[in-house]
Structure 1
């Protein structure tokens, strides 16, 4: 029986992110389901000030992700996985910050998934995200150049709010480099238009590390993106090495795509073929 691919998006993204990849999977004969995490997709906060580019209003508008943490993501995804498993095996795939949710789900509910896949996604093993970001493997990330996209003080607003509609050419160039350096300007602008302003403050912190007894017994794969300037390939490789050291009897099945952080979403043929091979 063929599995269902359950796709978990990254920061400020949504189920729309996965549409091109789902198309390719369907053409290869596979079913998939793209998740909208709580407060994302059509449930996202989309302040009028974001549309009109009223900076003061955008910084002050309430967001519905205030107080919504990682556990809400886990509960939401677990409920979806339970329903999907009624129709056969499930392969859960996460991108970027979605890896934090995938790890937490696999730690708590290993019985709900038959394989987990990290596509250049956070997979914390020995350290917290903050500690990894201070390490040498993160040094080539260009995300420190895009801090200007922040539209509000998270400690005051209770959410991470981004102004993806900025007109600052320097900031836009840095954003393109961080996300889609190997794409066209039009592809970048289209992708940027799919992002919504808010993200939860809670990515799990130091407690959301993989657990050998649960997470560690699930077959797993990692899709390395070698041109990724958000989560550098050196950090991706560190995640793989540390996880394999933790559970040497169950190691990552590793695949590589020569593309940027979201390049595999814009041009999904290679990623779809890799996933299809797992089925």
Structure 2
């Protein structure tokens, strides 16, 4: 039977992110479904202060993601995957922070997934995301230079809030480097406009690392992104190395794209060809 590609977005993103890749997959004859995780897409809830750029109000406006954790993502994905599975095999593709959700789902419901694909995505095996951030393999990340887009106190808000509409040229330059360094300024501004301000505080804990008994029995692929300065390729390679050591009889099928963190989403032809071959 023809598989369905189920696409899981990263932080502050949504199903809209995947539209160019879905177009390419469709032109290659493949079915795909892009997911909006809880509190994303049209459920994101964008404060009016984000539009008006009232900094004081933006810092205090309630968030739709307050108290929404990783388990909500898992429950949401399970409901979707059960329906998708009725139509044949499921190949789940995660980008960036979406990898945390993919691993958590695979840990709990391996029967719903026929292949896991991590596209420069978090694949936590020996450490939590917070611990990986402190690893030397993450030294090439420039994300510490974009923290100025933080628009609220996460502990008080109950969520992470970013002001993507910043006019600070230094911040915008750092954001472009972290996301789409190989893109044009126009492409970067269009991508930035698709992001919503809020993200969940819950990035998973020790219990959400890859489980050899469940996650580890599903065939899996990793798409390395060599110019990524959000999740450096050295950190991606550590994910692959640790996962392969965890289940040496079921190792990653590895592919490489020479682009930036979201470059393959903006120019998706090569990524679509890689995915199509998996089907």
Q: Note the alpha carbon deviations across 1:176-223, whole angstroms, 9 max, x for none.
A: 000000000000000000000000000112221000000000000000
Aligned length: 279
Equivalence for 2:94: 94
Equivalence for 1:219: 219
Equivalence for 1:45: 45
Distance 1:158 1:86 in 2: 36
Moved over 4 A (4+): none
Q: Note the alpha carbon deviations across 1:132-153, whole angstroms, 9 max, x for none.
A: 1111100010000000000000
The reply to whether residue 124 of structure 1 matches residue 124 of structure 2 is yes
TM-score, scaled to structure 2 = 0.99
Equivalence for 2:59: 59
Distance 1:217 1:78 in 2: 18
Q: Note the alpha carbon deviations across 1:80-108, whole angstroms, 9 max, x for none.
A: 00000111000000000000000000000
Distance 1:20 1:185 in 2: 18
The reply to whether residue 196 of structure 1 matches residue 196 of structure 2 is yes
Unaligned runs of 5+ in 1: none
Equivalence for 1:252: 252
The reply to whether residue 78 of structure 1 matches residue 54 of structure 2 is no
Specify the SS of the correspondent of 2:256.
strand
Contact map agreement 1:24 1:272 (CA 8 A) in 2? yes
Contact map agreement 1:70 1:203 (CA 8 A) in 2? yes
Equivalence for 1:172: 172
Unaligned runs of 5+ in 2: none
Contact map agreement 1:95 1:121 (CA 8 A) in 2? yes
The reply to whether residue 152 of structure 1 matches residue 152 of structure 2 is yes
Q: Note the alpha carbon deviations across 1:8-38, whole angstroms, 9 max, x for none.
A: 0000000000000000000000000000000
Specify the SS of the correspondent of 2:86.
helix
Contact map agreement 1:162 1:197 (CA 8 A) in 2? yes
Contact map agreement 1:129 1:206 (CA 8 A) in 2? no
CA displacement at 1:130 relative to structure 2: 1.2
CA displacement at 1:235 relative to structure 2: 0.2
